[in-house]
């Protein structure tokens, strides 16, 4: 009798402990939204500004009141253009989801500028105002633009040469930039006939993604002739200036239209090479698009530089010199199976 009662008591205690453990596990297990947020945060490790925008979104009180499914939807929308403007817009969406009658100011920028299709507009509380003072369309903080007469919106991130600045007043009434992007290829270097199309498309994709993440980047150099390369090599050696390359003419993939250099825009839209720029994130995006990044080289690194030469290493450019002398860049591309 004592044995039976003891066994029964032990079983009940074990069942209670198992139930408590299961309940505790359920409480500590991350939700689908928390898991998704961590995935995005990990991917943005080398873009602290985008990571901070994500943190601002997930810390928003209205976001916290959404269902897990709604939070995941918000995170997926953020990941499409992970920057502070998108996060601000999604905070407004969360508020409106909870209160359909609300008209959150976070949905549209308070001020800014947009240059689209050669036309420049002032932004005033989500409206696009032309030079004539007339309202020409509307813009949201998620980058969606609709000009008067257009049946569907488009995105400010679709064209890498769109100039867009979205500004918002903070709680103290001070204006801050949510996104500030200048034209990324104002000199049409990616359209050069001497630049391989496969390379230019990949570089454009890299810059496009960087812009979506709030990184204001621009193309500074693409094709460079053998003669220009030799002149650059002489710099700091037999010509004034500092040494900027170890590659002589024919030894750089620039000479075959298979390399590009990218920099950051400063506040005035001029190229700059800040030491604290998000170069590592740029390199990650480049690698994801099949490009070799100069920041990964041993010895002298070249963080602005990317190149594309499937089947050959970075140091094998000179093996293409005979083909180049025979038929120019097109012959090099043909030998690499790249077409034009």
| CA–CA distance, 239 with 166 (Å, rounded to integer) | 44
Q: 12: pLDDT confidence band, cut at 50, 70 and 90?
A: low
Whether the pLDDT of residue 2 is over 90: the answer is: no
State residue 19's pLDDT score. Answer: 57
> Cα dihedral sign for 15, 19, 21, 22?
positive
Largest Cα–Cα distance in the chain? 103
* DSSP code string of 80-142: HS-SHHHHHHHHHHHHHHH-TT---GGGS-SEEEEEETTEEEEEETTEEE-TTS-EEEEE-TT
- The contacts of residue 215 (CB under 8 Å, 6+ apart) are 47, 264, 278, 281, 282
Report the DSSP beta bridge partners of residue 179.
Answer: 166
Please report, for residues 115, 247, 251, 265, 327, the alpha-carbon distance to residue 316 in angstroms, rounded to integers and kept in the order given: 42, 11, 8, 32, 18
Helix (H, G, I), strand (E, B) or coil at 234: helix
- What confidence tens digit (pLDDT) does each residue in 272-287 have? 999 999 999 999 999 9
pLDDT digits (tens, 9 = 90+) for 139-190: 999 999 999 999 999 999 999 999 999 999 988 889 999 999 999 999 999 9
* Helices vs strands, H then E, count in the chain: 10, 13
Tokens of 53: 């925008």
HEC assignment per residue over 254-304: HHHCCEEEEEEECCCCCEECCCCCCHHHHHHHHHHCCCEEHHHCCCCCCCC
DSSP secondary-structure letter at 4?
H
What pTM did the predictor assign? 0.90
The tokens of 169 are what? 């007043």
Q: Any residues with CB less than 8 A from the CB of 340 and at least 6 apart, and which?
A: 196, 197, 330, 333
Average pLDDT over residues 110-130: 97
Residue 14 banded pLDDT, cuts 50, 70, 90: low
**Region of residue 91 (phi > 0: left; psi between -120 and 50: alpha; otherwise: beta):** alpha
């Amino acid at each position: 009798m004592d044995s039976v009662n003891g066994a029964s008591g032990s079983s009940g205690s074990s069942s209670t402990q198992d139930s408590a453990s299961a309940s505790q596990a359920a409480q500590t297990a991350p939700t689908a939204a928390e898991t998704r947020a961590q995935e995005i945060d990990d991917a943005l490790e080398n873009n602290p500004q985008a990571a901070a925008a994500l943190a601002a979104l997930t810390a928003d009180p209205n976001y916290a009141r959404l269902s897990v499914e709604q939070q995941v939807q918000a995170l997926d929308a953020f990941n499409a253009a992970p920057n502070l403007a998108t996060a601000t817009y999604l905070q407004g969406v969360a508020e409106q989801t909870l209160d359909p009658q609300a008209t959150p100011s976070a949905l549209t920028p308070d001020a800014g500028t947009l240059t689209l299709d050669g036309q420049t507009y002032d932004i005033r509380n989500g409206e696009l105002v032309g030079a004539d003072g007339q309202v020409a369309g509307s813009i949201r903080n998620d980058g969606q633009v609709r000009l008067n007469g257009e049946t569907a919106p488009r995105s400010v991130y679709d064209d890498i040469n769109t100039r867009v600045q979205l500004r918002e007043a903070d709680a103290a009434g001070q204006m801050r930039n949510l996104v500030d992007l200048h034209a990324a290829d104002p000199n049409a270097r990616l359209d050069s006939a001497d630049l391989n199309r496969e390379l230019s498309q990949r570089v454009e994709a890299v810059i496009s993604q960087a812009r979506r993440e709030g990184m204001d980047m621009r193309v500074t150099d693409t094709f460079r002739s053998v003669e220009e390369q030799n002149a650059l090599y002489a710099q700091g050696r037999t010509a004034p200036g500092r040494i900027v390359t170890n590659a002589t003419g024919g030894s750089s993939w620039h000479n075959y239209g298979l390399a590009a250099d990218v920099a950051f825009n400063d506040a005035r839209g001029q190229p700059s090479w800040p030491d604290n720029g998000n170069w590592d994130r740029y390199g990650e995006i480049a690698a994801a698009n099949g490009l070799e990044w100069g920041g990964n080289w041993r010895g002298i690194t070249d963080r602005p530089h990317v190149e594309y030469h499937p089947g050959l290493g970075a140091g094998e450019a000179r093996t293409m010199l005979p083909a180049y002398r025979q038929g120019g860049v097109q012959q090099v591309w043909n030998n690499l199976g790249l077409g034009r």
